[in-house]
Amino acid sequence: FRGPSRGAGIQEVSVNQSLLTPLNLEIDPSLQRVRREEKEQIKTLNNKFASFIDKVGGLPWVGPLHPGRRAGTTLGEPSESLEGPSGHPRDPLGPCSPNPSRVPRYEEEINHRTEKENEFVLLKKDVDEAYMSKVELESRLESLTDEINFLRQLYDEELRELQSQVSDTSVVLSMDNSRRLDLDGIIAEVKAQYEDIATRSRAEAESMYQIKYEELKTTAGKQGADLRSSRSEIGELSRLVQRLQGEIDALKGQ
């Protein structure tokens, strides 16, 4: 490495301006637009449910004992006629008499309204929870993205700094050419290897021939025993032939 020269002055310190640049931590405009659209959609949905509830609430209410007046009548409106078609006075309680057939219909409307209100409350709760979960996940994603960008920028700066340090480093390599090639040693080593191979080959050949010799010797001994056995059998057969021949000759001489 190149060492500092003596008598040098104070070295100039350079600062990378990119490290002093503040990070861009602003929220993406497209993300803001998506959030505004989601808020508008939720607001529209709430308005639709509120309008539906108002429509259900505007239905006429008739109790089981006090049914409402007929359509088209208002408070203070005079009765059309107090007399019937035959001139007899009308029943003053006729228009206000209870109508049992209309009671189940209004009770059904009330139950339907209550059911829709409960569904709206549950649906609104689910929508709010989903929106809050989405906002939280988007916030975490944004923070992780900023952290990744910061670490990436820091890594790039450190890499550039290391590259600049390596480029400023000088390496001196020296080679010792005074060494002489030892041909005698190499030749002796190769010769020893060949002699070792020849010795092992000779030993293997002798071992193989010895094994073959023992096998042939064993075979020859076995064949010699067979030959002796055959000779013994031939001798016995010869003696048997001679005996039989003597008996035949004796029979002929009688």
Query: Residues 25-64: pLDDT tens digits?
Result: 555 667 677 777 878 888 887 777 777 777 766 655 544 4
Compute CA distances 143 → 26, 27, 80, 137, 180, whole Å.
11, 10, 76, 10, 67
Q: 13 falls in which pLDDT band (50, 70, 90)?
A: low
pLDDT of res. 127: 83
Residue 96 has pLDDT above 80, yes or no: no
Q: How far apart are CA 30 and CA 11, in angstroms?
A: 48
- Side-chain-side CA neighbours of 164 within 13 Å: the count stands at 8
pLDDT of res. 64: 45
Say how many C-beta atoms besides its own lie within 10 A of residue 67's C-beta: 19
Q: b/e for 54-65, b at 16 or more Cβ within 10 A?
A: eeeeeeeebeee
End-to-end CA distance of the chain, in Å?
A: 134
Q: How far apart are CA 134 and CA 126, in angstroms?
A: 12
Q: 181 falls in which pLDDT band (50, 70, 90)?
A: low
Residue with tokens 């490290």: 19
Is the overall model pTM greater than 0.75, yes or no? no
Q: Mean pLDDT score of the chain, rounded to an integer?
A: 71
Q: Calculate the CA 53 to chain-centre distance.
A: 48
Q: How far apart are CA 46 and CA 98, in angstroms?
A: 38
Triad 41, 45, 51: Cα angle to 5°: 145
pLDDT of res. 58: 63
Q: How far apart are CA 67 and CA 61, in angstroms?
A: 8
CA-based nearest residue to 32, from 138, 153, 171? 138
pLDDT of res. 66: 43
Q: How far apart are CA 141 and CA 147, in angstroms?
A: 10
Quick check: 90 and 83 in contact, CB under 8 A?
A: yes
52 φ, ψ (degrees, to nearest 5) = -65, -40
Task: Kindly state the average pLDDT of the residues 87-103.
Answer: 50
- Beta strands per DSSP E along 53-148: none
Q: How far apart are CA 82 and CA 88, in angstroms?
A: 8
Residue with tokens 């001489």: 253
Q: How far apart are CA 144 and CA 152, in angstroms?
A: 12
